[in-house]
Amino acid sequence: MKSIIPFLTISILLGACGKEKRSTNAGIKMQEFIIELSNYSRGLKSDFILIPQNGEELLFKNIDGEEALDDDLIAAIDGIGVEEIFYNGAFAPDDYRLNMLLKAKARIPVFVADYLTTDSDYSQALQYNTDAGFLGFPRLSANYDYKLIPTVAPNENSLDITTLSQAKNYLYLISDSNFPDKNSFLTAIQQTNFDVVIIDAFYGGQLFTAAEINSLKTKLNGGKRLIISYMNIGAAEKYRYYWKEDWKLHHPRWLAKQYDDYAEEIWVKFWKKDWKNIIYGNDDSYTKKIIDAGFDGTYLDNVEVFYFLYFDE
């Protein structure tokens, strides 16, 4: 939910080679983090889907979009989601990131969520994605926060969707602010024909039940679809179940840096054991809760935290 500054630009601005190396090392640590998360989740559910959002350099060896795709990372995920590619202010289109995605699309599906300040650009935004071989979810001007359901699913179909590569469209709906209660939220999704639906695992702080998630897995027209849970793995969110009352910036020390424009989020040193334990590896972990709730996979937000932190031991 923010514009992405290319990693190359950040590296140039940093200047010092030592800082660039530490930032690259942080990217490599994020690759390792995602692979470990994949191994854990697929050990519990072999077909569990992982989709990181943004941070496209992670798809490549040495966090360098000019190098070959990183086979280990590609094998650990099922697709990549990105924001603001064809519509991104001065970076429109964002050729730096677009070129990396065009390389990646032969191996994994690419899901693009552009934000449109001019609603009349909607059809053109869909066409840009079709031409590039991506799936597009253009957000109209009133939908910056992913709170609205479009009236029609593009390329609507009644096919059974069991893998991301079969999907013709998707719905990205991680805010529930436009719905008066949980039943209204669930009913609104049930009345759609989107092939893939990305939602938060919680409504009003309460984890969805497996029965509730299962009720979303059939499109209105009868076809099967995938339900994916949003999960923030690069920033701690103060409203989540895991947040402790005495936590604040640098306490614990892995709460590393305030997330600009998001007062309720703090960038984390994601390579630290305490954060990893929150996200995966045990029965109280975020990932285990998502799997127990019956989701088909998880959408990993803020993997690009490595842009903003340097790796230290």
What is the per-residue pLDDT across 293-310, written as a single tens digit (0 to 9) for each?
999 999 999 999 999 998
Share of the chain above pLDDT 90, in %: 89
Q: How far is CA 263 from CA 19, 97, 235, in A?
A: 27, 27, 11
- Per-residue DSSP letter, 209: P
Average pLDDT value for residue range 23-44: 96
**For the chain, domain boundaries:** 7-307
- 15 — pLDDT class (breaks 50, 70, 90): very low
pLDDT of residue 12: 38
- 167 — pLDDT class (breaks 50, 70, 90): very high
Mean pLDDT of the chain: 93
Average pLDDT value for residue range 26-54: 98
Whether 16 has a pLDDT exceeding 50, the answer reads no
Using only the alpha carbons of the chain, give its radius of gyration: 19
Residue in 24, 16, 22, 29 with CA at minimum distance from that of residue 276 = 29
- Contact between residue 215 and residue 190 where contact means Cβ atoms under 8 Å apart: yes
Average pLDDT value for residue range 180-202: 98
Share of the chain above pLDDT 70, in %: 93
Q: Which is more confident, 255 or 21?
A: 255
Residue 232 pairs with which residues in a beta bridge?
Answer: 301
Q: From CA 184, how far away is CA 191, in angstroms rounded?
A: 11
Residue entry with tokens 């020390």: 253
Q: How far is CA 46 from CA 1, 118, 165, 250, 298, in A?
A: 30, 42, 17, 37, 13
> Within 10 Å of residue 154's Cβ, how many Cβ atoms?
18
- Contact between residue 196 and residue 161 where contact means Cβ atoms under 8 Å apart: yes
> How are beta strands 80-83 and 196-200 bridged, if at all?
unpaired
pLDDT of residue 2: 53
Whether 6 has a pLDDT exceeding 80, the answer reads no
pLDDT of residue 21: 60
Average pLDDT value for residue range 220-230: 98
pLDDT of residue 312: 80
Q: How far is CA 45 from CA 41, 103, 105, 212, in A?
A: 6, 29, 25, 19
pLDDT of residue 22: 60
Span 250-266, pLDDT tens digits:
999 999 999 999 999 99
- Contact between residue 153 and residue 194 where contact means Cβ atoms under 8 Å apart: yes
Whether 17 has a pLDDT exceeding 90, the answer reads no
Whether 143 has a pLDDT exceeding 60, the answer reads yes
Whole-model pTM: value is 0.94
pLDDT of residue 313: 63
Span 66-105, pLDDT tens digits:
999 999 999 999 999 999 999 987 778 999 999 999 999 9
**Cβ partners under 8 Å of residue 254, min gap 6:** 268, 269, 272, 274, 275
pLDDT of residue 20: 59
